[in-house]
Amino acid sequence: MPDSLLPLYPSLSPNRHGMLAVDEVHTIYWEECGNPDGIPVIFLHGGPGAGLSPQHRRFFDPQRYRVILFDQRGAGKSTPLGEWRNNTTQLLIDDIERLRSNFGIAQWLVFGGSWGSTLALAYGQAHPEACLGFVLRGIFLCTKAEIDWFIEGVRWFYPELYEEFAAPIPAAERGDLLAAYVKRILSDDPDVYWPAARAWSRFEGRRVYLMPQPEDTPNDALDLGVGRLESHYMAELGFFEDDQLIRDMHRIAHLPAVIVQGRYDAICPPLSAYRLHQAWPGSQLQMIPDAGHGALERGIASALVDATRRFQPGRGFI
């Protein structure tokens, strides 16, 4: 969709940005936008490994929000790109807390979509005292059933994509495509990992939107970040215990949340959003009837912008 038709705030440049070394391996990119005296919000991108886009700044009124965004370990401008070692959910949570401390923020709104919703829930359950509330999109609880859907179940809707994804894998390994791809994507040999990472990224990217979109130009950073980190995290079930995010909902059940979900999301199907809403009595679920998974589909983008407006003082939540 052309930028002029998106229901977002105007394009915005960071007030400041930088790099933060978080351990001996990883250095993460961060940026701060909007009003330094505004409502603090942390933006958590998807993937894992997808990184930031300038569009992500535009869900927030720059006069009212102080927006903190960062590329998670191994993603976007963070270095090393695609590095899966020293890369776990708990370490990402620690990175978020380090950013909060560095920015001197007591509490902030947590905004995340897809894997960003997973990380938002995990962060909130680890640090509920740091959260004002949540705006979540395209819910992914990182359960085995959802991972099985991502790899295998989706062939009910996209059989041609599944066939293309499986084709490079020898027949003897196709009984566990996730393991087959992890072995290749996490290889140290570029001739092995590049084709596998590109195939993984294409397998996901072509089913993000409800309506077909023009093919994107090749993006090596996105392909490597998404391919390596998604496969790494899925192989480890997100570093969660079984259904942990639903089990631990009592830790954040007192906080407000808006859940935005595309009815025809072929990556994160609506059942997960519904389960989360059922476990979170104070949450509001908005099922967008004409949308898939993409944050920039018009109905989803409009609902997300509306949610950030409602978290402003006097608008209902804070």
Q: Return the domain boundaries, the chain.
A: 3-142+240-310, 145-238
The two structure tokens encoding residue 49: 């490994």
Residues forming beta bridges with residue 27, ordered by sequence position: 21, 79
Buried b (16+ CB within 10 A) or exposed e, 24-45: eebbbbbbbbbeeebbbbbbbb
Active site residue 114: yes
The C-alpha torsion from 273 through 61 and 103 to 137, rounded to 10°, is 10
Active site residue 17: no
Exactly one of 56, 265, 277, 283 is catalytic; name it: 265
Query: Does the structural domain 3-142+240-310 have CATH classification 1.10.10.60?
Result: no
Exactly one of 45, 71, 114, 272 is catalytic; name it: 114
Exactly one of 26, 45, 277, 293 is catalytic; name it: 293
pLDDT in 10s for each residue of the chain, 318 residues:
555 568 999 999 999 999 999 999 999 999 999 999 999 999 999 999 999 999 999 999 999 999 999 999 999 999 999 999 999 999 999 999 999 999 999 999 999 999 999 999 999 999 999 999 999 999 999 999 999 999 999 999 999 999 999 999 999 999 999 999 999 999 999 999 999 999 999 999 999 999 988 877 779 999 999 999 999 999 999 999 999 999 999 999 999 999 999 999 999 999 999 999 999 998 999 999 999 999 999 999 999 999 999 998 766 665
Helix (H, G, I), strand (E, B) or coil at 50: coil
| Strand bridging mode 16-21 / 27-34 | antiparallel
Active site residue 265: yes
- The reported pTM is 0.96
